[in-house]
């Protein structure tokens, strides 16, 4: 299998031409065309509202559409009856963590229902169930109601249910969103294994840019359009350029200068990343050094651009990025001089929260200083939201204490509450009210004096770039703008402490960068203490400090750099290798004692202490088994590597207890 075995003149499994989908006036997809070949994993990457779900539903025959044509297995899907003809060969898993499963039913009852629905014979069912459950390690939880599973387990169960009738084409809508990195790795491994065993084609969507390399081919989607398509390498090749990474003490000054010249500038923690289009690495670094004459550059590095950089460049190229109305240096917005305390803003001490069936938060402690961006990183269900709820006083802790600005929020006076801003998970503003109405409501709730309300609203509108959508209903806004509105609502009264629960989930990369720009400004210039949660590993790099949460516990807590250094000292460096066939290679490596070897797209990652010794051993071991090693390079560990390592370490510890 693999790419080489793909014969291009085979008829495509799915053939989409000029697909158009409208919801009333809103155009969800506007002329999308693509072909999916037999046996490949095809990816749809894009933010919420890009049109991914509409396209997938239309292909699965569960959504009618207004224009264009779709063929699946050579059958034109143009009516309900036509769609029925191919549904027997399809498996479809809609978006949402476990939303297509039945929460009250047990794991086994869920599987049995899907099997009965698909008329799988009992003998086949028993056999497939055994195999799939073993693979997903769900066999221990057969009788557990689905609602008590963790997010990762839910998604794996969803996958089992979708695969139980062995479809020829599986369509998975954002199967990994909000899932912890270990479960995510499992998920991809299972998928790859299954695809290898049978000639199955998969169409998978994701909001994570860093998952792109797991696909053979993909389409980058935005606003109902396909911005680029093809193999990841091909897309990167089409957007030539260089990524320059700088470490500069005078960050704000450098940012001002860089932004005047380049459109893709991003402050990530203590670093600045600049995408310089169209030039070679040498030229790029020369350009930047020239631009920053007079500012001391502590370190400068050039890297290959990531798919995200290419995506943003493409959006700029297609003029899909929206207008940038502000730059962070000009974003001073709070009245007077901000209180410049370096004091501790948020304290969590031994916080515990028990629910009926389990402990959601287990002795969590940390501190957040004024002017610091503190990230709680973890999967859905890790306990992040519960921690925020306890700190903000929404939920009483079972044990321990949390204080904000020195006060317990449950008993805090109004004046303390007025100093705090909170943005709850998902979009919880009033969708049936306009942007302005929402802002006015929160300004008045937080006691902004009547005379200042309009002025304040104008300022946050400008800050969040909401000017053009002022009078629109919040529910009609695209996800990225909604999140900025939610942030604006949390900021309208000028808080000193900000709680943000999953603020960027589902937001497009440009929107995310804008969002971070505002946060960085708030922390650096206004000295606001920010506590936020996220499940994007890539985003965690932005935080000054991080706490990694897994199953209710903080399993590591430090600055991103220190976390990585600690990993290198404990477990060594990451070896990144490509081999053919990849799954046999993975198996072989596991036999060789590299138990943490994991599939990463078509590559394998493993942690080694001694790079040279390990490289030699792997080369020998693989060639003995007739596995072709394509390349092998050491790499600095990413935060995801840190996270996976810590989770597995934690699980091992618990197993030995």
Partner 1 sequence: MNSRRIFAVAYKEWREIVRDRLFLSLAFVVPVSLMLIFGYGINLDVEHIPFAVVDHDKSALSRDYLHRYIDSRYFAYQGDLASEREIGPLLADSRIRLAIIIPPRFEENLMAGRSVAIQTLIDGTFTFRTSSSKGYVIAINAAFNSELLGNYISQRLGIPLETAREMAQPVTAELRYMYNQEIKSVWSIATVLMMFVLMITPPFLTALGVVREKENGSIYNIYASTVTRGEFLIGKLAPYVGISILNILILWLMVARLFGAPFKGDPLFFFLASVIYVICTTGIGLLVSLLVRTQVAAMMMTVVVTVVPSVLYSGLLVPIASMDPAGQFEAHLFPAMYYTDIILGSFLKGVGMEQLWGKVLALLIYAIVLWTASFLMFHKRPKS
Partner 2 sequence: MNSDWYILRTRLGSWFSRLMAMTAKELIQFGRDTLLLFAIVYLFVFDTYMAGNITMQLNKAVVVVHDADHSAASRELIYRFRQPYFKLGGEVLDNHAGQRLLDQGRALVVLDIPPDFAHDIKKGTSVDVQVQVDASNAVLGFLASSYTAQIIGQYGFDQALTSLGIDERALENVPMVRNEYRVWYNPNQKDTWFMPISELLVVITIMGIMLPAAAAVREKERGTIEQLLVSPLTPIQILLSKVIAMTVVILLGTAMSLFFVLHGVFAVPMKGSLILFFAVTTIYSFTTAGLGLYIATLSRNLAQAALLAILVLMPMIFLSGAWTPPEAMPMGLRQAMYISPLFYFIEMGYAILLKGAGLDILWDSLLGLALLGGLIFGFGVWRFRRQFK
Only one residue has tokens 């060789």, namely: 592
Which residue in 51, 61, 175, 421 binds partner 1 (CB under 8 A)? 61
Partner touching 504 among partner 2, partner 1, none, CB below 5 to 8 Å by kind: none
d(CA 639, CA 148): 28
Minimum separation from the CB atom of position 446 to partner 2 (A): 6
Residue nearer to partner 1 on the CB measure, 96 or 322: 96
Tell me, residue by residue from 23 to 52, as one string, x for binding to partner 1 by CB under 8 A and - for no binding.
x-----------------------------
Binding mask 378-397 for partner 1 (x = CB under 8 A): --------------------
Q: Look at residue 554 and give its three-state secondary structure.
A: strand
**Closest C-alpha among 419, 329, 355, 380 to residue 534:** 380
Is 282 in a helix, a strand, or coil?
helix
Residues sharing a CB contact under 8 Å with residue 558, sequence separation 6 or more, in sequence order? 545, 546, 566
CB of 449 to partner 2, least distance (A): 9
- Which of partner 2, partner 1, none lies near 473, with the C-beta cut-off 5 to 8 A by kind? partner 2
Q: Which stretch binds partner 2 (CB under 8 A): 46-54, 200-208, 213-221, 424-432?
A: 424-432
CA distances for 43 relative to 31, 192, 194, angstroms: 18, 13, 17
Tell me: cis bond preceding 555? Omega within 30 of 0 counts: no
62 binds, among partner 1, partner 2, none (CB under 5 to 8 A by kind): partner 1
- Does position 389 interact with partner 2 (CB under 8 A)? The reply is yes
77-to-310, 407, 610 alpha-carbon distances in Å: 33, 61, 55
Q: Is 437 in the site for partner 2 (CB under 8 A)?
A: yes
- The one of partner 2, partner 1, none whose footprint includes residue 422, by CB under 5 to 8 A per kind, is partner 2
The region of 80-88, 214-222, 327-335, 452-460 touching partner 1 under the rule CB under 8 A is 80-88
Alpha-carbon gap, residue 240 to 259, rounded angstroms: 20
* Per-residue DSSP letter, 336: S
Task: Write down the least CB distance from residue 103 to partner 2, Å.
Answer: 11
Reduced DSSP (H G I as helix, E B as strand, rest coil) percent helix, strand, coil of the chain, to 5: 40, 25, 35
Cβ(108)–Cβ(116) under 8 Å?
no
Q: How far is the CB of 590 from partner 1 (least distance, A)?
A: 35
Shortest distance in whole angstroms from residue 347 CB to partner 1? 39
DSSP readout, 203-250? EEEES-GGGGGG-SEEEEEETTEEEEEE-HHHHHHHS-EEEEEEEESS
Residue 424 found at the interface with partner 2 (CB under 8 A): yes
| Smallest separation (angstroms) from partner 1 to the CB of 109 | 6
Helix/strand/coil for 369: strand
d(Cα 634, Cα 612) in Å, to the nearest integer? 9
What residues from 533 to 572 belong to the interface with partner 2 (CB under 8 A)? Answer: none
DSSP 596-636: T-EEETTEEEEEESSHHHHHHHHHHHHHHTT-EEEEEEEEP
Interaction of residue 116 with partner 1, rule CB under 8 A: yes
Site for partner 2 in 391-420 (CB under 8 A): 392-394, 396, 409, 414, 417-418, 420
The residue ranges that bind partner 2 (CB under 8 A) are 389, 392-394, 396, 409, 414, 417-418, 420, 422-426, 428-430, 432-433, 437, 440-442, 444-447, 450, 473, 499
The residue ranges that bind partner 1 (CB under 8 A) are 23, 57, 60-64, 79-80, 83-84, 87-88, 90-92, 94-96, 99-102, 104-105, 109, 113-114, 116-119, 145, 161
């Amino acid at each position: 299998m693999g790419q080489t075995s793909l014969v291009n003149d085979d008829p495509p499994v799915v053939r989409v031409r000029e697909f158009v989908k409208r919801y009333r006036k809103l155009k969800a997809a506007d002329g999308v065309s693509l072909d999916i070949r037999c046996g490949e994993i095809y990816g749809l990457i894009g933010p919420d509202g890009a049109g991914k779900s509409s396209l997938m539903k239309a292909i699965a025959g569960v959504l009618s559409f207004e224009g264009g044509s779709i063929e699946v297995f050579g059958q034109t899907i143009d009516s309900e009856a036509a769609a029925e003809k191919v549904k027997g060969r399809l498996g479809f898993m809609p978006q949402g963590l476990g939303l297509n499963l039945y929460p009250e039913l047990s794991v086994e009852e869920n599987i049995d229902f899907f099997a009965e629905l698909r008329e799988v014979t009992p003998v086949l069912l028993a056999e497939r169930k055994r195999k799939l459950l073993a693979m997903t390690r769900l066999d221990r939880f057969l009788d557990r109601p689905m609602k008590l599973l963790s997010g990762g387990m839910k998604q794996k169960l969803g996958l089992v249910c979708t695969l139980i009738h062995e479809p020829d084409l599986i369509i998975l809508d954002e199967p990994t969103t909000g899932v912890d990195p270990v479960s995510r790795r499992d998920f991809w491994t299972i998928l790859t294994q299954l695809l290898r065993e049978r000639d199955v084609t998969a169409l998978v969507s994701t909001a994570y840019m860093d998952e792109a390399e797991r696909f053979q081919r993909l389409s980058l989607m935005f606003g109902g359009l396909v911005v680029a398509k093809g193999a990841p390498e091909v897309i990167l090749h089409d957007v030539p350029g260089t990524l320059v990474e700088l470490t500069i003490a005078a960050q704000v000054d450098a940012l001002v200068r860089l932004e005047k010249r380049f459109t893709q500038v991003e402050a990530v923690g203590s670093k600045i990343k600049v995408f310089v289009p169209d030039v070679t690495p040498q030229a790029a670094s020369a350009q930047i050094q020239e631009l920053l004459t007079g500012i001391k550059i502590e370190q400068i590095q050039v890297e290959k651009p990531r798919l995200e950089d290419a995506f943003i460049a493409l959006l700029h190229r297609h003029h899909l990025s929206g207008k940038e109305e502000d730059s962070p240096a000009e974003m001073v917005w709070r009245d007077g001089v901000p209180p410049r305390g370096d004091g501790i803003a948020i304290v969590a001490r031994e916080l515990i929260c028990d629910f009926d069936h389990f402990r959601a938060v287990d002795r969590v402690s940390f501190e957040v200083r004024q002017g610091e961006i503190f990230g709680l990183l973890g999967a859905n269900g890790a306990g992040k939201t519960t921690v925020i709820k306890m700190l903000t006083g929404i939920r009483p802790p079972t044990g321990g204490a949390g204080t904000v600005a020195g006060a317990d929020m449950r008993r805090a006076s109004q004046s303390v509450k007025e100093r705090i801003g909170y943005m709850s998970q998902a979009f919880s503003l009033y969708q049936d009210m306009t942007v302005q109405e929402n802002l006015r409501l929160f300004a008045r709730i937080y006691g902004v004096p009547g005379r200042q309300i309009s002025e304040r609203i104008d300022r946050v509108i400008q800050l969040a770039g909401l000017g053009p959508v002022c009078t629109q209903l919040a529910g009609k806004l695209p996800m990225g703008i909604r999140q900025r509105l939610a942030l604006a609502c949390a900021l309208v009264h000028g808080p000193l402490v900000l709680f943000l629960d999953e603020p960027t989930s589902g937001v497009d990369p440009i929107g995310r960068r804008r969002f971070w720009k505002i946060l960085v400004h708030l922390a650096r210039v206004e000295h606001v203490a920010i506590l936020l949660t996220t499940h994007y590993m890539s985003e965690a790099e932005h935080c000054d400090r991080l706490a990694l949460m897994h199953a209710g516990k903080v399993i590591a807590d430090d600055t991103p750099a220190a976390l990585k250094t600690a990993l290198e000292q404990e477990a060594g460096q990451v070896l990144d290798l490509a081999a053919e066939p990849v799954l046999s290679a993975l198996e072989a490596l596991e036999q060789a004692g590299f138990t943490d070897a994991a599939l990463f797209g078509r590559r394998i990652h493993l942690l080694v202490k001694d790079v040279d010794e390990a490289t030699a051993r792997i080369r020998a071991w693989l060639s003995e088994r007739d596995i072709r090693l394509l390349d092998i390079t050491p790499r600095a560990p990413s935060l995801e590597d840190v996270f996976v390592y810590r989770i597995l370490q934690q699980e091992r510890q618990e197993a030995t207890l």
